[in-house]
């Protein structure tokens, strides 16, 4: 991975969108996560896809449509403790495992997800 290249440059939008599809398939199987979402997961999937595209170096469509991500503020209405973080991380890692990525790219994405998930914990 060249330091000037972003994850978005290396994997492209379709792989990021595939990751969000795989993630939400896992959400649908996980009772703890599923109860946090409305019946139709497609709006959440689209928001996450746009967010990850932006985070990983793609277009700023998420911010143009929704403003600054403010992850903690947007997630403050839900109790997120270490167990919930682990449910989320497991779903995301299962999704990530579905993609055929070079290990350094996968490691960089996992590193971001670990930092973000830990940042969102709002209950001990």
Listed by start position, the domains of the chain span: 11-119
Is 40 within 8 Å of 108 (Cβ atoms)?
no
* pLDDT tens for each residue of 6-30: 999 999 999 999 999 999 999 999 9
* pLDDT tens for each residue of 93-117: 999 999 999 999 999 999 999 999 9
Lowest mean pLDDT among 47-51, 77-81, 119-123: 77-81
Query: Does the domain formed by 11-119 have CATH 2.40.50.140?
Result: no
Task: Please state, as a whole number, how many other Cβ atoms lie within 10 Å of the Cβ of residue 87.
Answer: 20
Is 112 within 8 Å of 58 (Cβ atoms)?
no
Lowest mean pLDDT among 76-80, 89-93, 111-115: 76-80
Between CA 117 and CA 39 the distance in angstroms is 23
């Amino acid at each position: 991975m060249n330091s000037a290249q972003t994850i978005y440059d290396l994997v492209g939008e379709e792989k990021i969108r595939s990751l969000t599809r795989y993630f939400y398939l896992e959400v649908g199987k996980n009772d703890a996560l599923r109860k946090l979402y409305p019946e139709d997961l497609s709006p959440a999937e689209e928001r996450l896809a746009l967010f990850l595209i932006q985070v990983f170096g793609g277009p700023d469509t998420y911010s143009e449509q929704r403003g600054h991500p403010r992850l903690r503020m947007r997630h403050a209405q839900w109790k997120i403790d270490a167990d919930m973080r682990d449910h989320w991380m497991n779903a995301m890692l299962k999704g990530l495992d579905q993609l055929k990525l070079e290990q350094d790219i996968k490691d960089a994405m996992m590193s971001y997800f670990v930092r973000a998930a830990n940042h969102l914990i709002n209950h001990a």
